[in-house]
Structure 1
Amino acid sequence: MFEKKPTTIEQQIALLKHRGLQIESDEEAEHYLSHISYYRLGEYWHAMQSDKENHVFKPESKFSDVIALYCFDRELRLLLFDTIEKLEISLRTKLIYHLSHEFDPWWFQNFELFSDSLQLVKTLSGLEEEISRSKDGIIKNHFAKHKDDKRFPPAWKTLEQTSFGTLSKLYGNLRNNVKSKDVIAEEYGAVNHTFLPSWLQSIAQIRNYCAHHSRLWNRNLPGTVKLLPRPPYQWISEVPKQHEFQKLYVHMCLMKYLLNIVAPGNHFTLKLSKLFEKYPSVDPFAVGMKENWMEEPLWNM
């Protein structure tokens, strides 16, 4: 039976000091703990503990380093969220354009085009919920003008209301003989439909971490991605090993690969390198960074 009782901020500070965490200023620590929960910050100081069962900190562990890690992670999420926004808008555009021309504006509710009917039912159920609670004037006007049409609004209206996760599921669930599935993959430098679905699923997952303010630093990411043996565009020279797929670096490489197509001349490399410079106490290897990552052809663009 769980019997722990809540502790005051003063008690939290005393406990951290007792466990060996150096706190330079009680006033500063009290400020941060009053705005960022003890439990949330614990995700960042966990790696600083030599005895994780008894929560004993390693020598020279500092509260200021905990805050630096937290701020780094927050800024990293903002950078990735901004990057993913560009990819999301691009994917939405391509799905709407190519499939509406290949079939019709209601292709996304045509069960003949999808491999997994049950998954499509779930997707359409989510779409219906998003549409029903939408305050968008375009959606409201559509239903007002077309009261007798019981279908969803056409793709260019409906899919503007959807999440990146829904878009990635729609793409991945398309039958492999749907021409647009290969066309979109080719336009993204993924050659064909074999590889792109896992990339999109990975990016959608990371987007969710960003949207819910979850830690990315030192996190092992579930799942894996299929990498092209010979990408048509600039890529990294050192092929990642299987266990490295758990770290963020490989997934950021995929984002950069797609971003170079969607937004040529982007500043992702510069912004990421400046972030590491801003927080020198942060271990870049905790997110899987390679020592000379900036020299890779992919990151030089």
Structure 2
Amino acid sequence: MQLKKATTFDEQIQILKQRGLIIDDEATCKSFLSSINYYRFTAYLLPFKKSDNTYVNEVYFEDVYKMYDFDRRMRTLLFGIVEEIELLLRTRLAYYHAHKYGPVGYLEITNFNSKHNHERFQKLIEDAISNNKSTLVVKHHNSRYDGKFPLWVIIEFFSMGMLSYFYSDFPLVDKKHIARDLYNTSYKNVDSWLRCITDLRNKCAHYSRLYYWKFPAQPVIPKSFDFVPSGRLFDQILMLKFLYIDKSKWNKSIVIEIQALIEEYFEHIKLSHIGFPDNWKDLLVSPY
């Protein structure tokens, strides 16, 4: 099958109008399309798309633009939360493992569980060092310590995926200790949450769409919660609640920011598109 030809911004507007999108201000629409890419924009029209590639009645460009803007601001908010959680995990995992197994105990296969692929793990570490070889930290440890890096140094080069992998391969007794000490929960829950936060972080970092997105991995929800995951964004926000240890800041700042964002865009978005149930605020508030 032959690929489609590139279209001009004006042609893109005409295609959207022919498919049923109502565009009252073509100049504003053209300016928007010239900034964010037609392909990215049309993904926000998926909830309104019919089988013949046209859109349902009464879909306005302004509303879809607002959905996009809501998504952008929500993504920025969540990325900041993920960053805090990631930095906490770097600190606590390095602290625990280094104190129990020594500064370079992470290089010993015996300090992990039986599922650990040590060859792969060492390759990831080597890649992390190589990718940061021009930094003063790496130069310093290469010249002064013969290329040996204590865990609390090398972990700063771990991606969120590597942090998740690192925890997942802890001996069971250590996984249980971390899960209980940090989150008062089971290691299976933490395994699930770290898998999900890795996906969410990558989507936020690459400016990917969260609105009307079906996430491939669903976080385990503790049995005490009367909530069934839908695969949409709310599941991931609930997962962030479980991983965020400052309950006061979560309730008094983050939940308030999420609520303000929902209220500002309420006329242009649908809560069902992002998996928010009617009692979403009650579910997000953390007990102290």
TM over 0.5: yes
- For residue 233 of structure 1, what is the aligned residue in structure 2? none
The match for 1:203 among 188, 197, 208 is 197
1:181-260 correspondence to structure 2 within 5 Å:
181-230=175-224, 236=225, 238=226, 240-241=227-228, 244-259=229-244
Shift of 1:271: 0.7
Q: Percent identity?
A: 29
Does the C-alpha gap of structure 1 residues 297 and 60 become closer, same or farther in structure 2, counting only changes over 3 Å? closer
Distance (Å, rounded) in 2 between the aligned partners of 1:139 and 1:268: 36
Q: Which amino acid aligns with 1:258?
A: L
The match for 2:256 among 270, 289, 293 is 270
Shift of 1:55: 1.6
The match for 2:80 among 73, 82, 92 is 82
Aligned 8 A contact 1:256 1:268 in 2: no
Deviation by residue 1:36-56 (Cα, 9 ceiling, x = unmatched): 11110111012122x23x321
Deviation by residue 1:216-263 (Cα, 9 ceiling, x = unmatched): 111111123333334xxxxx4x2x22xx2412212211211221x246
Aligned 8 A contact 1:190 1:228 in 2: no
Aligned 8 A contact 1:73 1:216 in 2: yes
- For residue 279 of structure 2, what is the aligned residue in structure 1? 292
Aligned 8 A contact 1:248 1:288 in 2: yes
Shift of 1:76: 1.0
1:18-97 correspondence to structure 2 within 5 Å:
18-49=18-49, 51-52=50-51, 54-97=52-95
Distance (Å, rounded) in 2 between the aligned partners of 1:117 and 1:292: 41
TM-score, scaled relative to structure 1 = 0.88
Aligned 8 A contact 1:69 1:282 in 2: yes
Name the count of aligned residue pairs. 283
Shift of 1:297: 6.9
Distance (Å, rounded) in 2 between the aligned partners of 1:18 and 1:297: 42
Deviation by residue 1:199-220 (Cα, 9 ceiling, x = unmatched): 1111111101111111111111
Q: Which amino acid aligns with 2:264?
A: K
Aligned 8 A contact 1:131 1:161 in 2: yes
Is residue 168 from structure 1 mapped to residue 195 from structure 2 by the alignment?
Answer: no
Does the C-alpha gap of structure 1 residues 300 and 102 become closer, same or farther in structure 2, counting only changes over 3 Å? closer
Shift of 1:106: 1.5
Deviation by residue 1:168-222 (Cα, 9 ceiling, x = unmatched): 1110112213xx3222111222433222111111111110111111111111111
Does the C-alpha gap of structure 1 residues 101 and 205 become closer, same or farther in structure 2, counting only changes over 3 Å? same
Deviation by residue 1:55-88 (Cα, 9 ceiling, x = unmatched): 2111111111111111111111111100011100
Q: Which amino acid aligns with 2:43?
A: E
Alignment root-mean-square deviation, CA: 1.9
Distance (Å, rounded) in 2 between the aligned partners of 1:292 and 1:226: 19
Distance (Å, rounded) in 1 between the aligned partners of 2:43 and 2:121: 33
TM-score, scaled relative to structure 2 = 0.92
Aligned 8 A contact 2:255 2:284 in 1: no
Distance (Å, rounded) in 2 between the aligned partners of 1:85 and 1:109: 26
Aligned 8 A contact 2:218 2:235 in 1: no
Distance (Å, rounded) in 2 between the aligned partners of 1:107 and 1:246: 38
- For residue 140 of structure 2, what is the aligned residue in structure 1? 141
Does the C-alpha gap of structure 1 residues 252 and 297 become closer, same or farther in structure 2, counting only changes over 3 Å? closer
